[in-house]
Structure 1
Amino acid sequence: MKPLVLICSQDEELYLVLSHILEVDGMESELTTDANELLEMTLTREHQAVILDCQPASVAGGTTFASVKQELCSRLPVVALVARGAETQLLDLFKAGIDQILLRPLVPAKLLDYLNKTIAMGQERFSAVGNGRSLFFGDLQMDLVSQCVRHNGHEIHLGLTEFNLLRHLLENPGKVFSREELINAVWPDNIHVCVRTIDVHISRLRKTLTGASCNRYIRTLRSRGYSLEKLGG
């Protein structure tokens, strides 16, 4: 599957140029002109990066920078495209914690170099460790061979169901799962499980993670389900 990049801009000509650059390098892209829609799309689609067009007439205004970065947390790298000489805008971007700032007119090689590096780093979360495989998310590490979970090197003891739930979330960071999807992923087909059972096990998982000082990972989306994210704070 090709990496998917979400572009937020009201400049259709810029989008056509960016989409062509990305396509030639083996990536796909899609466009949104609304910051609120941008956040919604990142929760429903599996994007690998976001590009914000920060031209003065763009929807990505100063207050949008901080809100977008706060909502995306560390789920996705965010690239901001800024006009030369926009010093005040650069300061807002730095304060908002935008991952990468590139000046327009854009040098395609710089954009592609950054995207390829960050996308590759994201794919390395599911990587080889020792003789087996481990999953990483922030300071969390799950060894799939020993079925051991650690936070900052300290072991966390989980029940089997909580372990399987966390594993599924670790394998799909940032993706929102409904309760039904989590049931299908964790329980055998011949076992009937009430959807509210998921809430009980998520609560237990959160309680255990809280005891290990790493409770800010599982996000609840009302009427939609759960996702694994660094919520900050």
Structure 2
Amino acid sequence: MHHARMLLVEDDPALVELLTYHFKREDFDVRHTVDGEEALLMAKEAAPDIVLLDWMVEGLSGIEVCRRLRRMNETANVPIIMLTARGEEEDRVRGLETGADDYVTKPFSPRELVARVGAVLRRVRPALAGEQLNYGDIEMDTVGHKVRRGGETIPLGPTEFRLLRHFLEHPGWVFSRERLLDAVWGHDSDIESRTVDVHIRRLRKAINSNGRPDVIRTVRSAGYALDSN
């Protein structure tokens, strides 16, 4: 497992030193810049696993950096956490609308931030957080491509495996058929959204066999979620 690569975009030297110390201790490989434009170049050269981005940085604003990171192929899916001294609600909403995944308002404790980064990485890149995904009595070994439920091995086809993996990475999130098509089949697929329903049916049949409770919820006119309630 490689060290998670962090790009820290922050112009307060004391905070940079503090965060670098804490994240290096957690085995992160931290690269740092004070400048928005340079942050984009660095991200293009070597895509980070996570970006910590201050709202107020030199050059481009944090919001603009966030917007451009989301537009670049290399970083379209990289999680971004915005750091800000501004706790106003509308700023927070703007940050999230622009594509940030989470938001931390200064002052914050470095340990809280380390925990938040860990949570975001687990959500979007579970391979960095470990090779095992769990939900209820379902266990997935992402490396060995094995799925067990209640200790019993469940045979899954590759598409059902990817579908279940996506749900396990985002438990409780409701995904439209379009989002699932994107995530599991990729942007360029010309598969119809009805195909998603077929694979969901197959996945349900496999993991709910032997009368086990259904963990995939159909949300009317919205899509599907992994949800045991």
TM-score, normalized by length of structure 1? 0.51
Amino acid at match of 2:97: K
Q: Which residue number corresponds to residue 115 of structure 2?
A: 113
Aligned in 2, Cα 1:213/1:37: closer, same or farther, shift over 3 Å?
Answer: farther
> What does 1:95-174 correspond to in 2, within 5 Å?
95-121=97-123, 122-124=125-127, 129=140, 133-134=144-145, 148-149=158-159
Q: Which moved more, 1:77-86 or 1:95-104?
A: 77-86
Helix, strand or coil for the counterpart of 2:11? Answer: coil
Q: Which residue number corresponds to residue 30 of structure 1?
A: 31
* 1:147 Cα deviation from its structure 2 partner: 8.4
Q: What is the RMSD of the two structures over their aligned residues, measured on CA atoms? A: 3.8
* 1:70 Cα deviation from its structure 2 partner: 3.5
* 1:97 Cα deviation from its structure 2 partner: 2.9
Q: Is the 8 A contact 2:6 2:49 kept in 1?
A: yes
Q: Is the 8 A contact 1:39 1:68 kept in 2?
A: yes
Q: Which residue number corresponds to residue 163 of structure 1?
A: none
Question: Which whole-Å CA distance do the structure 1 matches of 2:50 and 2:79 have between them?
Answer: 5
> What does 1:1-233 correspond to in 2, within 5 Å?
1-55=2-56, 59-71=60-72, 72-74=75-77, 76-121=78-123, 122-124=125-127, 129=140, 133-134=144-145, 148-149=158-159, 209-212=188-191
* 1:28 Cα deviation from its structure 2 partner: 2.4
Question: Which whole-Å CA distance do the structure 1 matches of 2:65 and 2:108 have between them?
Answer: 21
Kindly indicate whether structure 1 or structure 2 has the higher relative contact order, using CA contacts under 8 Å at least 6 residues apart: 1
Q: Is the 8 A contact 1:69 1:78 kept in 2?
A: no
Aligned in 2, Cα 1:91/1:29: closer, same or farther, shift over 3 Å?
Answer: same
Percentage of identical aligned residues: 16
TM-score, normalized by length of structure 2? 0.52
Question: Which whole-Å CA distance do the structure 2 matches of 1:35 and 1:152 have between them?
Answer: 36
Amino acid at match of 2:31: E
Aligned in 2, Cα 1:134/1:35: closer, same or farther, shift over 3 Å?
Answer: farther
Amino acid at match of 2:191: A
Q: Which moved more, 1:125-134 or 1:62-71?
A: 125-134
Matched residue count: 152
Q: Which residue number corresponds to residue 182 of structure 1?
A: none
Q: Is the 8 A contact 2:63 2:98 kept in 1?
A: no
Q: Is the 8 A contact 2:66 2:80 kept in 1?
A: no
Q: Is the 8 A contact 2:54 2:83 kept in 1?
A: yes
